[in-house]
Amino acid sequence: MSNPRKTLLIVHHTPSPATRELLEAVLAGAKDPEIQNVDVLARPALAATLPDMLDADGYLFGTTANFGYMSGALKHFFDTVYYPSLDHVAGRPYGLWVHGNNDTVGAAAAVGKLATGLALSQAADVLEIVGAIDAATREKAYELGGTLAATLME
Ligand SMILES: Cc1cc2nc3c(=O)[nH]c(=O)nc-3n(C[C@H](O)[C@H](O)[C@H](O)COP(=O)(O)O)c2cc1C
């Protein structure tokens, strides 16, 4: 019998209080009481490994915008896992949030391109946040976490 439990891997770069707030909201959504049979594994991008990637059933990536691109930490993660993951993760769902101070477009596009290369399936709109975190942003981050986890329950 196949294992009914699924794993949502959250790979994030969280260098500040604002980004920590976002991560906590995403985690709370992913662990909403209505979600069942989904284990949430949150890994800082510099600590996430190839086995984490291969063993997961879906992904949430969270990054800051740095110099118009994803954070170096998340880039390092993709540098590490990209080629060994090809042909193993196709079709798995993913979501993405990006936090910046003025422009998150390049970072979001960069992660999107890698996800396309890996043939991941986008399961939620990209959440792009600029500046301070308010209640509405926290709610969107909660929803993002919940959406990805709920996708794995289907
Ligand atoms: C080296 C560096 C480069 C950055 N480049 C960008 C950028 O290209 N676009 C942007 O919107 N924010 C940029 N930022 C701001 C970070 O995205 C922001 O500091 C991060 O999301 C954390 O948010 P906080 O500083 O409000 O806590 C940069 C920050 C640093 C330290």
pTM over 0.75: yes
Output the residue whose Cα is nearest ligand 1's atom 5.
66
pLDDT for residue 86? 97
Q: From start to end of 29-100, where are the E strands?
A: 38-44, 58-66, 69-70, 93-100
According to CATH, the topology of domain 1-38+54-63+92-153 is: Rossmann fold (3.40.50)
Closest of 87, 64, 88, 89 to residue 74, by C-alpha: 64
CA 15 to centroid of ligand 1, rounded, Å: 10
Measured CA to CA, the distance from residue 148 to residue 135 in angstroms comes to 20
User: How far is the CA of 100 from the CAs of 62, 69, 77, in angstroms?
Assistant: 11, 10, 19
Per-residue pLDDT reduced to its tens digit, 29-44:
999 999 999 999 999 9
User: Cβ(14) to ligand 1 under 6 A?
Assistant: no
Q: Which of 20, 21, 66, 133 to mutate to test the pocket of ligand 1 (most atoms within 8 A of CB)?
A: 66
What average pLDDT is seen over the chain? 97
Per-residue pLDDT reduced to its tens digit, 47-80:
999 999 999 999 999 999 999 999 999 999 999 9
Quick one: what percent of the chain has pLDDT higher than 90? 97
Output the residue whose Cα is nearest ligand 1's atom 28.
66
Measured CA to CA, the distance from residue 136 to residue 112 in angstroms comes to 24
CA 69 to centroid of ligand 1, rounded, Å: 10
pLDDT band at 4 (very low <50, low <70, confident <90, very high): confident
User: Cβ(16) to ligand 1 under 6 A?
Assistant: yes
User: Cβ(66) to ligand 1 under 6 A?
Assistant: yes
